Chain A
Amino acid sequence: MTDIAWIDLALTAARPQALGALLRYFRDLDIAEEAFQEACLRAIKTWPDKGPPRDPAAWLIFVGRNSGIDVVRKRSKNDPLPEEEAFSDLSDAEGDMADRLDNSHYRDDILRLMFICCHPDLPATQQIALALRIVSGLSVAQIARAFLVGDSAMEQRITRAKARVAKAGVPFETPGPLERAERLGIVSSMIYLVFNEGYSAGITNPDSAAFCDEAIRLARLLLRIFPAEPEIMGLLALMLLQHSRARTRIDKDGQIVLLEDQDRSRWDSKLINEALALLDKAIRHRKPGPYQVQAAISALHARAPTPKDTDWKEITMLYGLLERIQPSPVVTLNKAVAVSKLEGPEAALDMIAPLADKLDGYFYFHGVKGGLMMQAGRKPEAREAFDRAIALANSAAECAHIRQQIDKLGAVTPLVE
């Protein structure tokens, strides 16, 4: 790795903490970003000669704070110079800065930076784009490629989202415990959105696949600053487990490979082991939550050497728990799949029958229903469900997967219209 490549990584790693602190000082996202940018340029100029600082984030905050003041002065050329007190104590340098970094301020700085990307008025895709731009520091071009839009369209989208955030007002006061817990929950969902965008769009677009790594990085960061939160451990474990199968869930022709057909020897054991360690830690807290339960289910798959060894009884039990803490028809649908492994397709079909109305527009529902019908030998009904699934497929890969199922059905008596 060259010096520049290392510096680039160090700048990216320090970004959330440094930008978060600069946002707190200047109370303006644009000024904070400009100040951070300026500090990064200085870093690229000086670090190769002088060597990297031991604490890159502290260095960037210190340098960024000074450049930020220049930015403010330039902007208000015609106004009187701002009072130094307008910013958080700028007079004293290093000593004060070290104190600030060592206390808990920076946790809330990072959380705030993530939280402002989750404004409820912003649709999911804009939250994802904003978080990747502001928190992760991905370039507009990178994000645009992942969303298959042009650079200028993405630039506009991000600018609009930022304006929205600025208009809503950034919450600068230190949050109380309840508020902090609420923010953690909202930020966790945003991180999972980023992951899922990468997980689903990444099948066909390698530019989105990088989102999965990014989401994992954000979750690690969040857990590092809130180390005793079992749901963050659960979220990170869940994403690590799902990501451990990235190499096997799509075959070389771009077709979806079902969990039971995947080559388990190619699952990433490093990610799985980290996830299992996190899950063990989370369980000690005895505060189950949706991410922990989903991770526990995923871990049971990871622990089974072959599909036959899967502990479906435990999985059914865990889906039951998930139904209680976060009831949703999709959870019941997943539980039905587990039940079908234990009791056969008819029992599962009985379970999903009441979901038909709520999940009528959901690809996966019809796919599962078709599969169960096929197992039960009810071919015409299977065909009908698969046809519905194809109509609702979100990607060519999903479509092709269902076609394969239809091929397995073989010749079927045509349906009477």
Chain B
Amino acid sequence: MLYAILCYAHEETVFAWSKEEEDAVMARLIEVQAPYAQAGKLGPVGRLMPTTAATTVRKGKEEPLVLDGPFAETKEVLLGFYTLDVETLEEAVAFSKALSVVNPGSSSYEIRPFYVFHPGEIKNSETKT
């Protein structure tokens, strides 16, 4: 089964990390991901820019409305996602638990099975960090 694992957290806190803190957290997250990546189970992983960079298109009565900001104003916001190809939900849960252990503060992971709509390929190197 293919799972999307959506990471929610407080962005005020996450974006207040210093460079050192950020690097330390990222190193630990990559450590969790490494075995899955080596086994060919890890698909694209994304970090979302702050919600202030977000735009939402909502279907209106006539034309769709274009609104500034994220879809929902919540305390915890969607900050990033992983795609993972594993046999069971148990494995997806284990992966998410491992991420949450190394991720400081309160963070939640929503596990959503999905179908591949389009495998895609992103060529623009600027969008990679």
Task: Name A residues whose Cβ lies closer than 8 Å to a Cβ of B.
Answer: 1, 3, 5-6, 9-10, 12-14, 51-52, 54-56, 217, 220-221, 223-224, 227-228, 233, 236, 269-270, 273-274, 277-278, 281, 284
Contact = CB atoms under 8 A, between A and B. Distances in A.
Q: Which 4 A-B pairs have the closest CB atoms?
A: A13-B12, A227-B69, A1-B104, A277-B53
Contact of A54 (B13, B16, B75): B75
A273 B16 contact: no
Nearest to B49: A274
A236 B25 contact: no
B126 A273 contact: yes
A116 B116 CA distance: 52
Nearest to A284: B66
A275 to B, nearest CB: 9
Given A54-B76, A228-B68, 20 more contacts: A1-B25, A5-B104, A6-B13, A6-B104, A6-B105, A10-B13, A13-B16, A51-B106, A56-B10, A217-B15, A217-B16, A220-B15, A224-B50, A224-B51, A224-B52, A227-B52, A227-B68, A236-B52, A273-B127, A278-B53
Contacts of A269: 126, 129
Contact of B55 (A51, A54, A281): A281
Interface residues of B, number: 27
19 contacts: A1-B21, A1-B104, A6-B13, A6-B104, A10-B10, A13-B12, A52-B105, A55-B75, A56-B10, A220-B52, A227-B52, A227-B68, A228-B68, A233-B52, A273-B127, A274-B49, A274-B50, A278-B52, A281-B68
A273 B13 contact: no
Interface of B: 10, 12-13, 15-17, 21, 24-25, 49-53, 55, 66-69, 75-76, 104-106, 126-127, 129
Given A1-B24, A217-B16, A277 B68 contact: no
B13 A274 contact: no
A270 B129 contact: yes
A285 to B, nearest CB: 8
A13 B10 contact: yes
Contacts of B21: 1, 5
Contacts of A217: 15-16
B16 A9 contact: yes
B77 to A, nearest CB: 10
B126 to A, nearest CB: 7
Contacts of B51: 224
Contacts of B49: 273-274, 277
> Which of B52, B75, B76, B127 has the most chain A CB atoms inside 10 A of its CB?
B52
Nearest to A226: B68
B48 to A, nearest CB: 11
Given A1-B24, A274-B53, A12 B104 contact: no
A223 B106 contact: no
Contact of B105 (A10, A223, A233, A284): A10
Contacts of B52: 220, 223-224, 227, 233, 236, 278
